[in-house]
Amino acid sequence: MSRIIVLFTGVIGIFALSAVVWGVPDDAAKPDPQADASYVGVKTCRKCHMRQYRTWKKMKHAKAWSALPAKYQALDQKDEKGRACVSCHVTGYGDADRGGFADPTKSEKLLNVQCEACHGPGSKHVEAGKKLQAEKRKHYNPGEEHFITKKTAACANCHNPHVKHSKYKAAE
């Protein structure tokens, strides 16, 4: 039994030493690959991702703007925590510098919760897709798409169990 413990401890020690010697990659030190990306809107995404677009069209996210009562569509309408109600019903709210939602007339292509609400601005992804098709996969870096779209979604930013939407519906 003691041999197994010694062997197990030795294996753990080797892994720990290798992490120190080779270093653990620091994601914080990497530049943001989306730093200069901009929002393109769902109509651009559907050109290549039709299956995902069709699925999205059946979801409540595709109707998020129209589900928001008109009186809460104003940018100055806030919830009890001071957040704009529209922020959860559009794409790219608070990111106007990169072409995100500014207001319903200027940002019509970003109404509703679209692809880029979770994946981030898609202009670099579109560029990579065009490059991929133009070069017929000859010089394509297969890992590139991971560097031009976000891999995780921050669902809890909008789907917060502490916000009582029924309170707003009742006030209509």
**CA–CA distance from 161 to each of 40, 51, 65, 114, 157 (Å)?**
30, 30, 20, 21, 10
Instruction: Look at residue 147 in the predicted model and tell me its pLDDT.
Output: 43
Which residues have C-beta within 8 Å of that of residue 142, sequence separation ≥ 6?
A: none
Residues of the chain with pLDDT under 70: 1-3, 5-29, 134-154, 161-172
The pLDDT assigned to 146 comes to: 46
What pLDDT score does 131 carry?
76
Contacts of 42 by beta carbon, 8 Å cutoff, 6+ apart: 53, 56, 91, 109, 112, 114, 115, 116
Question: For residues 162 and 94, what is the distance between their CA atoms, to the nearest angstrom?
Answer: 22
* pTM: predicted TM-score of the whole model, two decimal places: 0.67
